[in-house]
Structures are given as C-alpha cells and as structure tokens.
Structure 1
Amino acid sequence: MMLVFYMSSLAAISTSCFILGFYIFLKDRSSRINRLFFVNSMLLNAVILFTILIQLQETALNVKLFQSIYNIVLILFLLESLYFNLEFTRQKLKHFVVVSIILFSGIIFAVFILRGPEMLEVSRVKGLWVYELVGTRFWFLLYSPYLTCIALLMLYYLFMFSRSASLQKEKKQAKTVMIAIFLSYGGGFCFLMILPVLKIYKAPLLTPYFFAVYLYGVFFAMIKYKFLSFSIRDMAFDILPFIHDSIIILSPEKRILEVNGGSDGIFNGRAGYFSGKNFLELVEHDDGLPAMLDELISGRIDSFSARIIYRKEPENVITDSYISRVSDRFGDFAAILVVSRENKGVSQFRKYFKITGREMEIIFLILSGLTNKSVSAQLKITERTVETHLTNIYGKLGIGNKIELAKISGDFSIRPLKEL
C-alpha cells in the first residue's frame, strides 16, 4: 500500500511539473527565462524518473547504482536552478566562484561514479527501498556544504535583486522564490540528511517532494507577478471602444500596442496595420516630443499636453493631445496613453487661408507667447526665416501684428499649447 501511494504521488508530481514547464514555455517561447524554467522542470522530472526506477529494482546493488545516477541528475537540477536564478536577477558569478563550483561538482560526480554504491546502505521497509547514509564525512563535509552553498548563492542574489529592483513585481517575484528555496532546501536537508543520520527514521527518497515546492514557488511568482500583473490589451478591449477620441497605447519603447476606433480618422481606417510601429515615425515632430516622452518614461513627469501632427495623405491631421503614464496594479510603469482630439478649427483655418505646415507651427509657438528668437531656436531656423514666415502669414490673413493674429486665430478656436 505504501509503495502504491509513494509511486502514484511521484507520478502526480511529475505530471504537474511537466504541465507547468510546457505552460510557461508556450506562454512565450522567445523568453530565455521561460525556456530555462522549462529545462528546470524537465530536470526535476528526470530526478523523479530515477526515484521511481530505484523502487522498481529487485536487488540492493541495482538500487545503489541507480541512486548514484539519481544524485548526479539531482546536482544538474540544482546547478540549472542556480543558473535560472542568475538569469532572472541579471547577475553573474565571479570567476573564482564558477571555478570552485566546477571543481567541487567534478569531485562529487567522481565519488558517485567510482564509489557511489559504497556511500549508502539500503533495505526494504513496507515494500519501499529506504536508505541510510554511510561515510558521513563525505555527506557532511563535502556534499552538504556544496548543496548549501548553491542554495545560499541563489538566496543571496535574489535578496540583492529584491533590494535593487525598480519594479514592485520583480521585488515580489524575488521574495516569493526566496521563500520557496528556503522551504524546499531547508525541509529537504532536515528530512533527508539530519534525521536519517540521527537514526530517527529510515526514509525513501523524498527529494522530489521538496524540490517540487521550489518549482511550484517559481511558477507562482512568474504567473502572479508577471503574466497576470497587467494586461494592456485587456484594458484596451474593455474600455477603448467606448471612447470617441483617438486613444493610442504605446509600449515603453514608444511602439503602438493598441488603438481604438476613434483613431480610424487618423490612420485612414487602417489602425490595426500600425500595431508595433514606432509612434514617432507616424507624427511630425521636432526634438520636443521625443524629449517629453523620455521624461515621461523616466518618471520625472506623469503627464503633459502637446499638439501632435499625425502624418496622413493627402493632408496631415493636427490634434490637441494629452499624454500620460499608465501603471499596473503594482504601481510599475506599464505603458503610455495618448489621447488625441482633432483640432478641426486648425484644419479649416489652414484650408481657408492656405497656411502651410511650417507656418502653422510658427503660429502655434507665437500664440504660446514665444518671441521670434525663441521660435527660431525651437525650430532650428534663423530668426530672419521666422520673420519671413510671419510676413507671409500676415499677408495671407490680411493682418499686421501678433495681436491681430491672436484674435483671428481665436475665431477658429485655435488656442495656445499651454491652454490645452
């Protein structure tokens, strides 16, 4: 009965690890972290496989041989777990640490290959092969310190990462994985090393149970604090169809993630075509807009207003726009929200008076209170060129100064940028 329960529970753990590994892998095959988690889950399955094979052996010698192979696979699982955590925390081991791990791994592998059967005593208890450690100097002066060092390295780098990470979700991920490591390694060391040496009980191999706790903890951290933390597309599908202004959601890299139906007028009804495009390539801009977006992304500002001119054939679309940061439920920066409303007064104004795009830029800046010198500096043209443009503008409008320019612009609801 004990054997049936033991084998069926191992099969259940193996199945769950297999499912979790493939789930994470298929979630994002391009992610290196996801691929490493998949490898980790498969190595734990290999550990479980040898645990089951040990119980299927008829002789004690075969049990000892399979357990030697099992111990080697277990160390490979632990080394891959260390590598996974280093990748997750974006850390690198120092050269002497890498050399030490390789050296001690080689020594332990050699011991298991050459003298593995001599390091254990096995016997059957209630139908299960159970073990007793022999040669405690190897187990407690080499093997246990080696495993402890691997666990401490993972805990150390996760702890440092949790203190330095800028995103709240990464801090929570690190803490969750630390708890999983502490429970799995601490519990495993106590039940699999200390208690058998004290002869409190003889036990079959319980390692898969403890390291499954670690794998489940990592899976929980990845799912709860990454994949399900914030879905910008879910928000888009739920909210954007009901907003009639143009709504564009950008990634932190300034690429378009999602747009609503109100953007069809800007994108000629092909809004979906521009998904993934660089936003700045779709608008007319000087250095001001990219600089403000960088300020927003860095967190130095939370929002700003701008007059954004979208490129469109046969005529660009001039909009009054509001740009802001979007945070997820952990308070981490997740996306950029651009709300644009076409300034139809500007379009009518330009069409009626035949105002060019450059002339319109100068009108906006003059209405915002800038001097000719400031306009020239912002547009990177000479002050003489600004004066020439103003002369042309005054001629087209039939006016003679900036006060009259403000009045006629107001008749078309053209406002200074600071009033947006």
Structure 2
Amino acid sequence: MLPTTSADLIPGDLIQLDHQATTPCHPLVVQAMKPWWEQEWGNASSRQHRLGLTAAAAVASARHRLASHLGVEDDELIFTSGATEANNLALLGHARARAKAEGRCGHVITLATEHHAVLDPMHQLQREGFALTVLRPQDNGLIDADMLNDVLRDDTQMVSVMAANNEIGVVQPLRALADLCRSRGITLHTDAAQAFGHLRLNRDELGCDLISLSAHKLNGPKGIGALVKRRGVSIQPLFWGGGQEQELRPGTLPVPLIVGFAAAADLAHADLETWQQQLTLLRDRLWQGLKSRHPQLEMNGAHQPRLAHNLNITIADVSGVRLHRCLKRSLACSSGSACSRGEPSHVLQAIGRSRREAEASLRLSLGRTTTAAEIDRAVDVISACINQLHGS
C-alpha cells in the first residue's frame, strides 16, 4: 500500500482524460433525444399511424444527415448497436458472403494493433477456415502500402485497418491502402469509431468499402452506431427477424439514439477544425509539461498523423499497478483500451513495448470539456506520482 495518493498530493476534482473510452453526451444531444423518449415514442416500422410515421421520418432525417457527413447515399448507411456490431457485421458478414460466392474461404488481413472488436471476428473467421494474417506495424504504429503489399496473396479477399487507433491515436494512410486493395479486387474495411467526428471522413476520398461508426466517441449516446456499406458489397446478416435495415440488421430501431447520433455528428462537424486546433494545443501542452519535468518519458505512436486529443506515454522504471493506483483518485485515464480485459495493452506490445512497459503506460485522451487548467493540474498530478514512485 502507498502511504499517499495523488489526491493527497494534488487536491481537486477528478480530471477526466479518458475521452477515448467514451464521452459525455452533449446537452444539445440530450435535448434532441428528449421528445423521442416521451411524446414521440412510436415504432419506426409502424406505418399505419402518425406516431410510427413520425418516428420513421426522424430516422430518415438522421440517416440522411449522417450519410451527408460521409459523402454516401442514405441507403448505404445501416444502423447498428455500435461499432462492435458494425465490425462483426462487416467482417463476418462480408467474408462469409464472399466465400459463398467464390466457392472457397480466402485470405483476410488485419493489424496486430486493431481493437478486439476487429481481432476477435478475424480469429473467428480463421476458425471457420479463412487464412488470417495479422500484420505488425512499424514501431510508430503506422503501416504503408508496401508493407500491406508484401502480405497480399492471390486469394486475399478482405483487409481491415483502423482509421485512427484507439490507444495510440495514429491515423493510417487509408487512401494508399485502398488504392492497392482496389487494384487487386480486395475489400477494404475500416473501424472509424475513433475517427468519425474528429477527422473529416469522406468515403470516396478514403476509398473504403465498409466503415464502422459509433456515436458515444463524439459526445453522442451509447448503444448506437452504423455500418457504411458501399453498393455492390455483399453481406450475410448475422441474425434474422423483422426485416429492418435492408434485412441486414433486423430489430426495432432505437429512434431516440438514432436522433442523438445525428445530432452529435452535426455538432462535431459544425466546428471540427476549431476544436481540433484547440485540442492539439492542449495535448501538446500536456506532453511538453510532462516531458520538461521528466525527460525520460516516451511518446507511443507517431506524433503525426495523430488524433488531436490523444497522448500515449510510457513511464520507464515504475510499476504500472502502483502508478495507476496513485493516479486513480485524481485522474481518469487508462493504460489501454476500455475493452482490454485487464491485460496489458496488446497495441503497445505490438509496437515493441515490453509487458512491463505497457503496464506503465498512460493513454491520456482529451475532450470538449477539457480545459487548460485541467491540463496543468494533470501535469502536476502525474509528475507528483512519478516522483513518489521514483522516491524523489
């Protein structure tokens, strides 16, 4: 047991620097959803009366607004419960459909730094008979078209590469990867849960065939996401019943959540560049403040291209358990994905960090509510803990 914690060292309210795990629902998003929980509570599939028709119109409006942010047609956007379901529908659904059409299970590729919501479905495909390559990126977390080209095979059917990494924030060169995939007739999927609402994403500029999205990473509600599917890309449903969402994702549509998703996307895109500039300044202030006090700190992942609100650092020669115990009463952050199952980050280990180093790493992710004063307090809190653990 440590005799003190950072709460004793640096008093004050909990500093929230875990916005890549989830974000607070924006007050305007809550306001937009409110009528659809109470007065307008109809089922969007019930077209025989006003309540149902009003709900269906709200879903159509939300779908159109979300599609417009991505440069796609309305019917190319399929609502899901979140990016995890969208990933499963894209990867399992497309691979199975393509294997059926081609008469064989082919080869699929992903990165060792992907979220488990991609890695786990890919390993399920491997159990079903698909050949799987898990590509290790460079130590900065990035890959390039040459690296991908080196592992392509004549039977490669699908590649999945995250747009922006959920732990180290690096932004992959999807356009170059897409050009390579298209030249070989390979389907490209991207998990864009961390990128949508933080980067401007246009499907045709990215070149992706399948894109997974989530609302709760951009100040929207939890429990709603979407899969963007290019026309002509075949998918088998994962379950059946009801026929909603082009019979690819049946079930009663959660109208309030869909309305909230569109409202959050509208808000994010209305001032996207301004907020990204502000978050970049705050993120760099955090990094420079920590680095000036502790020159031994190392940043994980390329400095650019990187999400503006992400900083991932490794603190050498400290116990990760003791570090997080020291921080937890003053600072909300993580050592990896919120879905990491308590294990040291597989992302950091894939880019060359040891298990011990991965445990002694911090993912610090900023949000719309983050202030300069909180950044300065975070520098003090983290620095105090490092000094305490080093016995200074």
What range describes the TM-score normalised by the shorter chain of this pair? under 0.3
Q: What is the TM-score of this pair, normalised by structure 2?
A: 0.24
Q: What is the TM-score of this pair, normalised by structure 1?
A: 0.23
- Is the radius of gyration larger for structure 1 or structure 2? 1
Structure number with higher relative contact order (C-alpha < 8 Å, ≥ 6 residues apart): 2
More helix by share: 1
